[in-house]
Amino acid sequence: MALMILCSPLFSAVVNVGHAGAIASIQEGINAATPGDTLLIAAGLYSESEIEINKSLHIIGMDFPIIDGGGKSEILIVTADSVVIEGLQIQNIQANYIADIAGIKLKEVKHVTLRNNRILDTFFGIYLQHCRHIRIEGNQIKSDAILEMSSGNAIHLWYCKNILIVGNEVSGHRDGIYLEFVENSEVSNNISVDNIRYGLHFMFSNYDTYYENVFSRNGAGVAVMFSNHIDMHHNEFLHNWGEASYGLLLKEIYDAEITNNKFVKNCIGIFVEGSTRINYHSNLFQNNGWALKISGGCLDNDVARNSFVSNTFDVAFHGTKNENSFDGNFWSAYNGYDIDRDEVGDVPYRPVKLFNFIVHKTPEAIVLLRSLFVDIVNFAEKVNPLYTPKNIIDRKPLMQPAHDYH
């Protein structure tokens, strides 16, 4: 019984690390601690790398002590369960073409929390492999990557389950947040900006949710590929602009919900390819080049209660067969009437314009966009449709925006 009392977490110790004390290095402090202890790291500069946390500890930085990795090696490597790391500034890892080195790396662990840390100028910021029940919260992860091939991701997950990524600010990496073979996880309230490739990137990941995030000025906002059962709601996709920039890219995904999102000033709001049983409901598409661009192999999708406002092209469809529904949306370009005042237009609306068809066949024609020629061409096709898809039609166009998005 006495042994059980001595080992109880109620008797955990505090180990102080600081240049003015008996323990001057972080690794020494970890080695001196016992499982369940708290490690308090005083402010200052610690030039250390490959620090292994191999026991359950609560590590707290006082006034953001700086751990500088010297450029070449990983800094913190967590190999124990039930670790908390908070209040540290971790910095200085150069690009590595052989290994995925990171500011903080977690290997085959569970019940770890990484909270309120600053991770600056690292190759990968936070890297998880084969982990479960991890919380990544309130961290600032910033770098200044220039080329995709020589940069890593701010938060990288590989073969993980039950991960919560909440309230982080990530920028200047290849991808802001990357998930591969990740299940039952949540990404919420993050800000992902100025990343070279994607703000958020899913690959082969299922039953995940992301919501209330902001993706701005990335190469593309979010890419979801080869995944299913992804719930995407209340996010903002802003200013992802360039020759092939998307707010949201969907490729070979199934059974997903895309609801209550804002797509504003993107080259393409959503680009879809080979995706089935997707509900696009109650989203705002405003001032995009293309709001919704659909390629082949997209079946049984429902586009409803969305607001398409002042986009250059609302819908582009490049396929031979349409088995998707477009009923019940607001289109700012709709000029029909509502005699019975039921807030639904009495005349159906065809959102695919002939000029969009021409631009797809001859991209150089985009220079004519604001000309009178375009208005004449679109009007002629409206009167006598010959080239635009006959079955892409909103039979119940709304007279007012579906929601107040202000």
Tell me the C-alpha distance between 134 and 156, whole Å: 13
Compute the 3-state secondary structure of the chain and give helix, strand, coil in percent, each to the nearest 5.
10, 45, 45
| Dihedral (CA of 250, 144, 191, 185) sign | positive
Q: What is the pLDDT of residue 201?
A: 98
**Whole-prediction pTM value?**
0.90
**What stretches of 241-392 adopt beta strand conformation (E)?**
246-251, 254-259, 262-264, 268-273, 276-281, 284-286, 290-294, 299-304, 307-309, 313-317, 323-325, 330-331
Phi, psi of 227 (to 5 degrees): -135, 170
Q: What is the pLDDT of residue 4?
A: 37
160: tokens are: 């993980």
Q: What is the pLDDT of residue 94?
A: 87
Tell me the C-alpha distance between 309 and 291, whole Å: 9
Q: Phi/psi class of residue 125: alpha, beta or left (left: φ > 0; alpha: ψ in -120 to 50)?
A: alpha
Q: What is the pLDDT along the chain (406 residues), one digit of tens a residue?
A: 333 333 445 568 999 999 999 999 999 999 999 999 999 999 999 999 999 999 999 999 999 999 999 988 899 999 999 999 999 999 999 888 888 999 999 999 999 999 999 999 999 999 999 999 999 999 999 999 888 878 999 999 999 999 999 999 999 999 999 999 999 999 999 999 999 999 999 999 999 999 999 999 999 999 999 999 999 999 999 998 766 689 999 999 999 999 999 999 999 999 999 999 999 999 999 999 899 999 878 889 999 999 999 998 999 887 656 789 999 999 999 988 889 888 899 999 988 876 555 555 555 445 445 555 455 555 555 555 545 566 789 999 999 998 755 4
**What stretches of 22-95 adopt beta strand conformation (E)?**
38-41, 45-47, 51-53, 58-61, 66-71, 76-78, 84-86, 89-93
CB 273 within 8 A of CB 250: yes
Question: CA–CA distance from 310 to each of 75, 130, 197, 285 (Å)?
Answer: 49, 45, 27, 8
Tell me the C-alpha distance between 287 and 269, whole Å: 9
* DSSP letter for each residue of 132-157: EEEEEES-EEE-----GGG---SEEE
Tell me the C-alpha distance between 370 and 363, whole Å: 15
CB atoms near residue 28 (< 10 Å): 14
- Residue 189: its H or E element: none
Phi, psi of 355 (to 5 degrees): -65, -30
Tell me the C-alpha distance between 397 and 338, whole Å: 10
Tell me the C-alpha distance between 205 and 153, whole Å: 17
Q: What is the pLDDT of residue 350?
A: 87
Question: CA–CA distance from 158 to each of 75, 127, 169, 179, 380 (Å)?
Answer: 19, 8, 20, 6, 53
C-alpha of 50 from chain center: 29
